[in-house]
Structure 1
Amino acid sequence: MRCGFERARIFLLCKKKKTTFWRWHVISREHQINDEIRAREVRLVGADGEQIGIKSIRDALQLAIELNLDLVNVAPTAKPPVCRIMDYGKFRYEQQKKEKEARKNQKVVDLKEVWFRANIDENDYQTKYRNVIKFLNEGDKVKASVRFRGREIAHASLGQKILDRLSKEVAELCSVERAPKLEGRSMIMILAPKTTS
């Protein structure tokens, strides 16, 4: 645990670098606001999106103060920098809300692995086949592997037959992203679900 002196030193360092200190993590702010803007002149955009024109930083700040809003540098690399008059807190809230919504709608594709043996019994094969079907229907990729133990590696063609059979039986649900390939003592094939349009 950090002592009080070390916390204060870190806080002062963060203050110098124009970052916000929150729950003992450093979060950098992506926009310069109000007094942090160091340009002499800025291209000013009003609160409603209208172009006001090129103004000195003092005039732009004064206009933002009169409207009880913030002056935010939205394009610092432009010549002159583009600043907009807006409520920065509301802007950040809307941005975080959009990011959260995008993350919620995003589908994370997992890679599920199913192991086969070179001399697998038919019942075991059917059980693993049903698992592959289930994973593909859930939208996950499947890594189908055949493990070879001892001298089984001399009969790699048996593993190739198992993986070929599997790929033919699930052809309507997926496409073969990576063909069966021998890696060490395993033969690996990756199946990706077909995208529904």
Structure 2
Amino acid sequence: MSTTNYRVNEAIRVPEVRLIGPNGENLGVVPIEKALRIAREAELDLVEVAPNATPPVCRVMDFGKFLYEKTKKEREARKAQTKIEVKEIRLRPKTNEHHRGFKTRDARRWLQEGMKVRVTIRFRGREITYPEIALEDLKEIAAELADVSVIEQMPTLEGKSMTMVLAPAKGGKKKVAPATAESSPDPQIETRDAANA
């Protein structure tokens, strides 16, 4: 293996470094030439790990293996991060019970897998003049899924669609969700009350 030193110019100015051996043992402060010789004898690389320390800290190690393990740890850290995916089901005010059952079943499965679900009812033409129909549909869906979800965002009218977001229920929230969905005839009033409290 070749001997690697990132800061060759500074190493010339710094005659001594604190050396960490290949097995992690502290070899103390040694001249840079001796550190390079120890790395060559071990057939490993001399890598500066703490350039701002006084004296700088160098370690005798396999640099390729070090980079591999570093990227492996970064990959595992990325896998450990929780990514919450938001799925969507789209309905219309005229969607019949049979088709709504399919959509609700999909939503239930996604909620059990830990995903959020956005329920959107899109209006066409004059359907927008009857938003209470869509609101009633959204209440029924929320009540149907109350055992596995909580309402994260109450139904809101945005342009030509009404949207509600359901999140997976955790712990004690499962029992609160059914009362929330059924207690108020208008879920939007509940949002305003929570904001004023």
- TM-score, with length taken from structure 2: 0.68
Q: 1:195 to 1:63 in 2, by over 3 A?
A: farther
Confirm or deny that 1:65 pairs with 2:65: no
Which of 151, 157, 160 pairs up with 2:126? 151
- Contact 2:6/2:48 (<8 A) preserved: no
- Note the C-alpha offset of 1:49: 1.6
Counterpart in the other structure of 2:152? 177
Question: What aligned pairs does 1:159-170 form with structure 2 within 5 A after superposition?
Answer: 159-170=134-145
Q: 1:58 to 1:187 in 2, by over 3 A?
A: farther
Counterpart in the other structure of 2:68? 93
SS in 2 for 1:34: coil
Q: What is the CA deviation profile of residues 138-167 of structure 1, one whole-angstrom value per residue up to 9, with x for unaligned ones?
A: 332212111111222222232222222222
Counterpart residue type for residue 4 of structure 2: N
Q: 1:167 to 1:56 in 2, by over 3 A?
A: farther
Q: Using the alignment, how far apart are the partners of 1:117 and 1:71 within structure 2?
A: 67
Q: Which has the larger radius of gyration?
A: 2
C-alpha RMSD of matched pairs (Å): 2.7
Unaligned runs of 5+ in 2: 172-197
Counterpart residue type for residue 150 of structure 2: S
- Contact 2:5/2:48 (<8 A) preserved: no
Which of 100, 112, 117 pairs up with 2:87? 112
Which of 107, 114, 120 pairs up with 1:132? 107
Unaligned runs of 5+ in 1: 1-32
Counterpart residue type for residue 122 of structure 2: R
SS in 1 for 2:130: helix
- TM-score, with length taken from structure 1: 0.68
- Structure showing the higher strand proportion among its residues: 1
Which of 36, 54, 66 pairs up with 2:6? 36
